[in-house]
């Protein structure tokens, strides 16, 4: 490491979040992982949905500091409380922004302006401010103001239609608000690019992210296919037009499965050897990829009969050592003991007053010189009021106390 390098890449960057649920806060968490000081503004009058409306709660006892999803999305972030319905609180928020580099908000379009915290107003107190506005469908257009959640937007963005047991079969959910997390990645990229632009030019800017439009980036081939061939992609179960066998096969135990993907004839020969099935290798129904695609139902049945006799882990190891692509269908609990994820320190256990400890999620990329540092668990509501208002805004302890008594810092 060179003498002038820093421990964390984003040290010295300060971020203020007026954000809720996942799509906003997780961007802040990612910046915090690399050293930015991230301050989330919340209020007792308008708590994050993940504090109150969504399980899991620690030991199934609801409580504003017991929301497990809140914990997952808000580590590395400081927390202050301001009741933004009050003019004094808005003025304090602006003072805080004047000391910051980046603002993140993910309310429905128009809400942040109505709170008195729109970009043009904030730019007056911080001329080179970078502000990320992330909402369902963007800041402009006929449906800009539509309120919604990622669980449904994932369907409008095309993903649900592409997920099902076969062409014409009903669509299946992708579990959660998938597209929110796509928007997190793109929002993070946009903010980082704007930071570089500001460093070079001195100009900040307002970034408009439509979560819907970020999702469409992930299905571009289907969008082009619809134009070029007039074809609407249909769900294919677990099949792939370029491979056979290709899918998820049952293994020993309840709800245990192993994924196998064979893209060419060499891989097929390797699978037959690894499975000790010379009769498959010699079977005219399965000689070439075209043969295997034609007879895929029979092929899948044979593979499933074989895989059902073994543990998924054993199948994966046996096929991988023969150079065949295979992987256990890991459950969520499996992820917490997956040797590969543990090797990368994917889960970072940090202490928290209500959870005891909580395993926070580290980023999926490892930086060789400035590794991510997960230092703090999710903050308690208003935990950093004194630090932020006294140390950053330079107010006296008595002034802060008065504002608390008045319900401004609340």
Partner 1 sequence: MHQDGVLAPYRVLDLSDESGYLCGRILADLGADVIKIEPPQGDAARRIGPFPNDVPDPEKSLYFISYNAGKRGITLDVRKPSGRALLLRLASRADFLIETFPPGTLDRSQFNPRLVVVSITPFGQTGPYCNYKASDVVLMAMSGLISLIGEPGKMPLRVSLPQSPMWAGMYAAAGALIAHYHRELTNAGQHVDVSMQAALLWALANAPAFWATNRTPPARGGSRITGRSMTGARMRAIYACKDGYINFIIYGGKAGRRSNQALVDWMARHGLATNSLLNKDWNRFGIETSTQAEIDEIEGPTAKLFMKYTKAEFLDEAFRREMIGYPVANARDILDDPHLKDREFWQSIYEPALGTQLRFPGLFARFSAVDPRRFRPAPKVGEHNNEIYEGELGLTSGEMARLQEGEVI
Which residues from 316-335 bind partner 1, rule CB under 8 A? 320, 323-335
Question: CB-hemisphere CA count at 13 Å for 202?
Answer: 0
For partner 1, the closer CB: 50 or 286? 50
DSSP single-letter state for residue 245: S
Q: Which two tokens stand for residue 30?
A: 């990612």
State which of residues 311, 363, 376, 404 lies at the interface with partner 1 (CB under 8 A). Answer: 363
State which of residues 89, 195, 400, 408 lies at the interface with partner 1 (CB under 8 A). Answer: 195
For partner 1, the closer CB: 28 or 395? 28
- The minimum distance between CB 190 and partner 1, in angstroms, equals 4
Cβ-contact 309, 303 below 8 angstroms: no
Q: Which of residues 382-401 bind partner 1 (CB under 8 A)?
A: none
Stretch that binds partner 1, among 84-92, 272-280, 281-289, 365-373 (CB under 8 A): 365-373
Tell me the C-alpha distance between 110 and 144, whole Å.
9
Task: Give 118: exposed, middle or buried? Use CB within 10 Å, 0-12, 13-18, 19+.
Answer: middle
State which of residues 90, 180, 315, 410 lies at the interface with partner 1 (CB under 8 A). Answer: 180
CA-nearest of 138, 144, 234 to 190 is 138
For partner 1, the closer CB: 184 or 388? 184
State which of residues 206, 252, 273, 293 lies at the interface with partner 1 (CB under 8 A). Answer: 206
CA-nearest of 349, 344, 373, 22 to 188 is 22
Q: Interface with partner 1 includes 197 (CB under 8 A)?
A: yes
Cβ-contact 404, 396 below 8 angstroms: no
State which of residues 116, 118, 164, 407 lies at the interface with partner 1 (CB under 8 A). Answer: 164
Three-state secondary-structure class, residue 348: strand
CA-nearest of 138, 119, 146, 233 to 183 is 138
Q: Interface with partner 1 includes 4 (CB under 8 A)?
A: yes
Task: Give 260: exposed, middle or buried? Use CB within 10 Å, 0-12, 13-18, 19+.
Answer: buried
Cβ-contact 257, 316 below 8 angstroms: no
Q: Which of residues 249-288 bind partner 1 (CB under 8 A)?
A: 250, 255, 257-261, 263
Which residues lie closer than 8 Å to 278 by C-beta, 6 or more apart?
272
Compose the 113-152 pattern: x for residues touching partner 1 by CB under 8 A, - for all others. Answer: ------x-----------------xxxxxxx--xxxxxxx
Number of residues forming the site for partner 1 (CB under 8 A): 168
Tell me the C-alpha distance between 358 and 75, whole Å.
10
For partner 1, the closer CB: 71 or 410? 71
State which of residues 98, 313, 370, 373 lies at the interface with partner 1 (CB under 8 A). Answer: 370
Residue 230: enclosing H or E segment and its boundaries? none
Q: Which two tokens stand for residue 371?
A: 């590794």
Q: Interface with partner 1 includes 18 (CB under 8 A)?
A: no
Q: What angle do CA 99, 102, 108 make, to 5 degrees?
A: 120
- The minimum distance between CB 253 and partner 1, in angstroms, equals 13
- The minimum distance between CB 178 and partner 1, in angstroms, equals 6
Q: Which of residues 58-87 bind partner 1 (CB under 8 A)?
A: 58-60, 62, 68-69, 71-73
For partner 1, the closer CB: 88 or 206? 206
- 261 - beta bridge partners? 246, 325
State which of residues 214, 251, 307, 385 lies at the interface with partner 1 (CB under 8 A). Answer: 214
């Amino acid at each position: 490491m060179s003498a002038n390098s820093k421990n964390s890449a984003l040290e010295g960057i300060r971020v203020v979040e007026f954000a809720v649920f996942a799509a906003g806060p997780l961007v802040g968490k990612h910046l915090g992982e690399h050293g930015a000081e991230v301050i989330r503004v919340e209020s007792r009058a308008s708590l994050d949905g993940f504090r109150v409306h969504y399980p899991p709660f620690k030991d199934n006892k609801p409580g504003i500091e017991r929301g497990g999803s809140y914990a997952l999305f808000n580590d590395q972030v400081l927390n202050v409380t301001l009741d933004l319905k009050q003019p004094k609180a808005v003025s304090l928020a602006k003072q805080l922004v004047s000391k910051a580099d980046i603002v993140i908000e993910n309310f429905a379009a128009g809400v942040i302006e109505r709170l008195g915290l729109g970009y043009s107003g904030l730019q007056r107190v911080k001329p080179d401010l970078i502000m990320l506005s992330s909402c369902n469908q963007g800041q402009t257009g006929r449906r800009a103001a539509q309120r919604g959640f990622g669980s449904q937007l994932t369907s409008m963005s095309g993903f649900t239609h592409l997920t099902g047991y076969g062409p014409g079969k009903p669509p299946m959910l992708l579990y959660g608000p998938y597209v929110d997390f796509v928007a997190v990645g793109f929002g993070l990229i946009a903010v980082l690019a704007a930071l570089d632009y500001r460093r070079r030019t001195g100009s900040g800017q307002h970034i408009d992210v439509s979560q819907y439009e970020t999702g469409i980036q992930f299905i571009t081939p289907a969008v082009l296919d619809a134009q070029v061939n007039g074809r609407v992609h249909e769900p294919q179960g677990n099949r792939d037009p370029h491979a056979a066998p290709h899918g998820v096969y049952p293994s020993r135990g309840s709800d245990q499965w192993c994924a196998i993907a064979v893209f060419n004839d060499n891989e097929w020969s390797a699978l037959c050897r690894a499975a000790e099935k010379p009769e498959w290798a010699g079977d005219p129904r399965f000689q070439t990829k075209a043969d295997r695609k034609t007879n895929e139902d029979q092929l899948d049945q044979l593979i499933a009969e074989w895989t059902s006799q073994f543990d998924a882990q054993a199948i994966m190891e046996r096929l991988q050592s023969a150079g065949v692509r295979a992987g256990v269908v890991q459950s969520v609990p499996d992820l917490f003991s997956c040797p590969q994820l543990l090797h990368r320190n994917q889960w970072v256990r940090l202490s928290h007053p209500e959870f005891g400890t909580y395993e926070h999620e580290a980023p999926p990329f490892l930086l060789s010189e400035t590794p991510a540092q997960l230092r703090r668990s999710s903050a308690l509501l208003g935990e950093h009021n004194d630090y932020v208002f006294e140390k950053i805004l330079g107010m006296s302890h008595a002034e802060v106390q008065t504002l608390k008594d008045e319900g401004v810092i609340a």
